[in-house]
Amino acid sequence: MERTALLIRCSKEEAERVRIEAEKQRRTISGYVLQIMSRAIEIENRLLAKIDPYTAVNQVFSRKSLIGAGPRTAILVRCSVLEAERIREAARRRDLPINAFVLQALKRSWANELNPHLRSAANQPTHQSAPASQA
């Protein structure tokens, strides 16, 4: 499998949060970021499938993130070429730089951790199927 890396520019506080959260989950930094990005892209793909094809995707998904003030640093995320291309494509759909897209997904994940009721609501099926054994 061919490997590559993504350089994610962020604040020192964001980088420290990534390190702490990765350590809590006993993951590498790359593994932690890729796990969150995988979920974020999966959710985005499900949303894309539900959007009216005549709606401009950028109107729905594009949310330019603001770059906070303060000291900056970067995180190197090692991944497969396929994983990197999926992240790049998802960022392109949202008309965001890769690092802004990744940071946005991380921040949503962190916010979700603070609100566990949102997590349970997100895991609920959007439609209910009829019971299988009604004869």
Token pair 């009216």 is found at 52
pLDDT at 62 over 80: no
Please indicate whether residue 122 or residue 67 has the higher confidence score (pLDDT).
67
Q: Identify the pLDDT of residue 50.
A: 78
Asked if residue 107 lies in contact with residue 96, where contact means CB atoms within 8 angstroms, the answer is: no
> Helix crossing, 29-50 with 12-24: angle to 10°?
100
Domain membership of residue 19 as a residue range? 3-116
Of the ranges 61-65, 71-75, 109-113, 125-129, the best mean pLDDT one: 71-75
User: Does the structure show a pLDDT above 70 at 84?
Assistant: yes
- Quote the CA–CA distance of 8 and 10 in Å, as a whole number: 6
Q: Is the per-residue pLDDT at 3 higher than 70?
A: yes
In a domain, 129, yes or no: no
DSSP state of 76: E
Q: Which residue, 43, 15, 19, 45, is CA-closest to 31?
A: 19
Domain at 44, CATH number? 1.10.1220
List, in order, residues 6 or more apart from 70 with CB less than 8 Å away.
11, 12, 13
Provide the pLDDT for residue 120.
Answer: 55
Does 123 reside within a domain?
Answer: no
Give a yes or no: residue 124 inside a domain. Answer: no
What does the pLDDT read at residue 51?
A: 73
Domain count, the chain: 1
Q: Is residue 81 part of a domain?
A: yes
Lowest mean pLDDT among 39-43, 112-116, 117-121: 117-121
